[in-house]
Amino acid sequence: MQHYYEKYSTTPMVWLVRVILKPLLKVVILSFLLYLIISAFFLKTFKIESDSMLPGLARMNRVLATPLSYGSKLPFLSSRLPGLTKPQYGDLVICTPPYYPAGNSLFNTFEPLVRFLTLQKAAPHRNPGRGSNTRYMIKRIIGLPGDTIKLEAFTAYVKPQSKDRFYSEKELISPGYEIRIEVMPEAWQSDFPLTGNMEEITLKENEYFLLGDNRMKSNDSRSWGPLLFSRIDSRVFYRYWPFNQSEKL
């Protein structure tokens, strides 16, 4: 009696695609979709890469931020959902400076994918100047819409819309935070540049005044003016790295 055997074979490339690459691609796609949902609506992580928020936040610190507070932005769109609250005095926020291109630029559209594939290498801060490609910064909200703001020796004084006098930022913001101000040379005069003085400005509707805690090394509203609410992305609420400094912010 003769026996016949059927023989099946496949090339190594076909086997690689079927057994390894296709399942791996499915895992990557599902992971990206999960990441997109979480980061767009609930939680984001950022790495600090400048000294502008010293002494509170240092280089290489990592923080958690939530877009839920002010309203999650819909992926690939310019609209956002209603938020749980409005920005308040002292809030630490992730924001986009006004000189960064607005709208749906190519980078903005594919940014979630870029952040996913680079393991969150898109950082909130890289000492940007005008013309920089850096999209995100971390700053502290000092003034709200309708407030009148002035600066004297790097300290902000705020006259809320409903008040008739100025309050120092420390009177309005609690819990407290430290401001880093370097000592000026003895002969440095108050009308010289970089003395931390600013004449009064009044914020319009949907405008916020943001400053870094390290006043002499921060690119903020002193140089690019009030920031529109649409450019505030999320509220920073926790530092998780380094672990020995983890705390609520």
Under 8 Å between Cβ of 125 and 62: no
Residue 188's pLDDT is: 62
In the numeric block, the tokens 């709208």 are attached to 103
Residue 81's pLDDT is: 81
Q: How far is CA 67 from CA 89, 193, 194, 234, in A?
A: 17, 36, 34, 4
Coil, helix or strand for 26? Answer: helix
- pLDDT band of 109, cuts 50, 70, 90: low
Instruction: Report which of residues 118 and 49 the model is more confident about.
Output: 49
Residue 35's pLDDT is: 72
- pLDDT band of 100, cuts 50, 70, 90: confident
DSSP string for 106-156: HHHHHHHHHHHHTTS---S-S---TT-----EEEEEEE-TT-EEEEETTEE
> What's CA 27's distance to the chain center, in Å?
29
Residue 129's pLDDT is: 43
- pLDDT band of 135, cuts 50, 70, 90: confident
Residue 16's pLDDT is: 66
Q: What is the pLDDT of residues 23-62, one digit of tens each?
A: 777 777 777 777 777 777 788 888 898 899 999 999 999 9
* For range 142-164, the mean pLDDT: 94
Indicate if the pLDDT at residue 209 is higher than 60.
Answer: yes
Residue 31's pLDDT is: 75
Note the pTM of the prediction, 2 decimals.
Answer: 0.78
Under 8 Å between Cβ of 210 and 139: yes
Q: Which of 69-78, 79-88, 216-225 has the highest mean pLDDT?
A: 216-225
* For range 49-78, the mean pLDDT: 87
Q: How far is CA 95 from CA 28, 81, 125, 172, 245, in A?
A: 29, 17, 10, 21, 24
Q: Which residues of 65-80 are buried (b: 16+ CB within 10 A; e: fewer)?
A: bbbbbbbbbeeeeeee
Under 8 Å between Cβ of 196 and 152: yes
- The percent of residues in the chain predicted with pLDDT above 70, rounded, is 72
Mean pLDDT of the chain: 81
Indicate if the pLDDT at residue 70 is higher than 90.
Answer: yes
Residue 216's pLDDT is: 87
Count of other CB atoms within 10 angstroms of residue 147: 25
Residue 97's pLDDT is: 92
Write the CB contacts of 6 (distance below 8 Å, at least 6 apart in sequence): none
- pLDDT band of 176, cuts 50, 70, 90: confident
* For range 122-139, the mean pLDDT: 59
